[in-house]
Each structure stands twice: as C-alpha cells, then as structure tokens.
Amino acid sequence: MESIIVIEPGKQPDLREVEKLDLETMQSIVGGLIQRVPLTEDIDLWFNEEGRMRHLPFNRDVTDNQGTTWDILGTMFLTVTEHADEDDEDGDRTVGLSPSELLAWAHRLSLPEVEVPEVPEGCIAVWHAKHPNFAGSYMWDTQPPPPWPSDFEQVALVVTSDINRAWEATNHIDHAWQENPDVKALKTKARSSSVGDVFVLPGGKALRVDSFGFVEINP
C-alpha cells in the first residue's frame, strides 16, 4: 500500500492508502489525464491537465520550492519520486509519502479557516467568488461553482432586508456601486455581483446567485 495526500476543491487534505500508483489509479483520482508538477526534488503534485478546458473548480494556489505559484483546478494529489541509481534499469519510481512527509505537506496545503461573520439584522452581506465561473445551476454538473466559503471574500454589507436590492446595490450601473449610500464597501475596487456570488442573511443563511434568482447553499 502507498500513502498519498488527496486534496479536493474546498476541502482539507485527505490522507489515503492506495494499493499501487499506476496510471489507471492516478487518472481515476483526478478524473482524467494527469499532469505533474515537481514541488521539490522528491515531492510531486499531480492534477487534471484538462482542468481549465473542463472548467473544473478552483482548488488552491500551490507554491513550489522555486517560488513558482500554480493555481490548481480540480482534485490534486501528492506522491514521492524515488530516484533510481544509474545502474537501475527500472528508472525512477512513483511511491507514497513517508509519515513525516504526510504530516508536513498536509499542514502546508491546509486551507485557512474562513470565518463568516454574523450579519446584523436589517443587513445582507455580499461575498464575491475569487475564481468565478459565472455558470448557473444548469451547468453545475460540468462546471461546479467555487467552493464556499474558502474561495470567497466579503466585499460589502448592504443595509437592506431585500436581497434583490442588495444585488442591485452591488452592481455598477451609472456609477461605481461602492458609492451607493446604503452600501458599506469592504473593497475599494470590486466587480459587480454576478452568478456564483453569495449573499448571506442574518442568521447565517447563505444564498448563491443563480441564472435566475438565488439558490440556498446547504451547510
């Protein structure tokens, strides 16, 4: 058995055991063709090489030891390259991580906890997706929405109990929405609210903007 770290979008690293790290197993983890990025001399990151073309959800940014940052889409996993000696005819091998490597990399790639503050009565909090795909629920089978709340940031608090008013108040129409009197802008520069963004009501109910109306996000 080989020990690896599997990380799905919006989730914390998962330590898994697989029987062997052959091509079929590796492709099944990412759901398609695989691409490799060496993070260190020994640690490799694998993900779906068609992630952008298939509109897979943003997972997280990963920085290698050379300082290059990779924005990974879809499920990814980590393995170790076991380098062969010059006289080894089998060449390098892909194997699992050691216990210390599992702990170190799981910690390094953990998502920070995103706290969703309580919303005052008479207000609606507006959160924008950092990596939006602007696809409504009719496309979510093939283009999943960004993971909530890990890939969002709060951009405004609107003084209203009407969610449609909150939507209108955070859209650029004849001037920047940050200038609207009933809006407490938390970002000086932000796009208009759009499909995929999230509006949070008092009590914590979160509603994702759909192509028509809003869809509640299940906890």
Give the pLDDT score at 218: 81
Give the pLDDT score at 204: 94
Give the pLDDT score at 88: 60
3-state secondary structure the chain: CEEEEEECCCCCCEEEEECCCCHHHHHHHHCCCEEEEECCCCEEEEEECCCCCCCCCEEEEEECCCCCEEEEECCEEEEEEECCCCCCCCCCEEECCCHHHHHHHHHHCCCCCCCCCCCCCCCEEEEEECCCCCCCHHHCCCCCCCCCCCCEEEEEEECCCCHHHHHHHCCCCCCCHHHCCCEEECCCCCCCCCCCCEEECCCCCEEEECCCCEEECCC
Which residues of the chain fall below pLDDT 70?
A: 84-92, 219
Q: Give 134-181 pLDDT, tens digit per residue.
A: 888 888 887 888 889 989 999 999 999 999 999 999 999 999 999 999
Give the pLDDT score at 57: 87
Q: pTM of the full predicted structure?
A: 0.76
